[in-house]
Amino acid sequence: MSGVLSTGSFILNIYFPLVFTLMAVFFLYIGLKVITSKKPLLLPSKVFFVFMVIAFSPQLIMSVETQFSTGVFSLLSLMSPIMYVVLLAFFWIQMKGYMAIGISDDSFRNALHYALDQNHIQFEEQVSLIKLTNSNADLLVSVQSWVGTGQLKLKQSKYNHLLNTLVPSINQYFQSHSVKTNSTTPVFYILIGLILLVLSVFFYSF
């Protein structure tokens, strides 16, 4: 039982503050970078997945530690860690491509057209996707304009090299053109980052 308590104490006083600090730095970096540069930011979706794993890890560690310390294994007791693993596997599959922060409808669309033209990729624009006629690939585009975020990914994973070719050109457009940014998500990220810093100090001194 002492093993469980010591693990719980370690997670509360050391691991939680570390996790909160890492996540706070991540959110503050994104929020401040977009607001100070007044330019949208494009990040691999897998970066967000990494921080999702970090956020889930304390509960997963405590659940597994409890199983080994008590020596009691049953299907019911294993449901919690299994659920975490299944949920993370689901998000790993879903979180493909790139996430755009601080965009507007026009800025994201213009950046995509610029990147496609720069790389001499012929395309046909349809609802929620752009067909890359050269490669017979579908570029899925999702924009949440009211919060200024978007997602960009290829429907066929075997053409991911095309997306990796487009991203530098999209970033080049954002940096070299005057674009309208949406600060809703960056401001929200800054608030989340500050709250996480407060929680980090609270758990460390708990």
The reply to whether 27 and 54 lie within a common domain is: yes
Cα–Cα distance, 151 to 170 (Å, whole number): 13
The reply to whether 11 and 81 lie within a common domain is: yes
The reply to whether 92 and 190 lie within a common domain is: yes
User: Nearest CA to 77 among 89, 93, 65?
Assistant: 65
The reply to whether 55 and 153 lie within a common domain is: no
The reply to whether 128 and 194 lie within a common domain is: no
The reply to whether 24 and 7 lie within a common domain is: yes
CA triplet 38, 41, 47: central angle to 5 degrees? 150
SS3 label, residue 129: strand
pLDDT of residue 4: 45
User: Nearest CA to 56 among 21, 19, 30?
Assistant: 19
The reply to whether 155 and 194 lie within a common domain is: no
pLDDT of residue 73: 61
Q: In what order do the strands lie in the sheet with 98-101?
A: 41-44, 98-101, 149-154, 137-144, 129-132, 123-126
Number of folded domains in the chain? 2
pLDDT of residue 3: 46
Of the ranges 5-14, 33-42, 122-131, the best mean pLDDT one? 33-42
Q: Please report the sign of the dihedral spanned by the C-alpha atoms of residue 142, residue 145, residue 147, residue 149.
A: positive
For the cut 50, the answer to whether the pLDDT of residue 2 exceeds it is no
User: Where in the sequence is the domain holding 189, given as residue range(s)?
Assistant: 2-39+46-96+184-204
Tens-place pLDDT, residues 56-114: 787 777 776 666 666 666 666 677 778 888 888 888 888 889 999 999 988 999 999 99
Confidence of residue 33 (pLDDT cuts 50, 70, 90): very high
The reply to whether 190 and 163 lie within a common domain is: no
SS3 label, residue 133: coil
The reply to whether 148 and 188 lie within a common domain is: no
The reply to whether 191 and 92 lie within a common domain is: yes
* Mean pLDDT, residues 21-38 taken together: 95
pLDDT of residue 1: 43
The reply to whether 89 and 63 lie within a common domain is: yes
Tens-place pLDDT, residues 165-194: 999 999 999 999 989 899 999 999 999 999
Whats the size of the chain, residue-wise?
Answer: 206
The reply to whether 89 and 113 lie within a common domain is: no
pLDDT of residue 180: 87
Beta strand segments in the chain, E: 41-44, 98-101, 123-126, 129-132, 137-144, 149-154
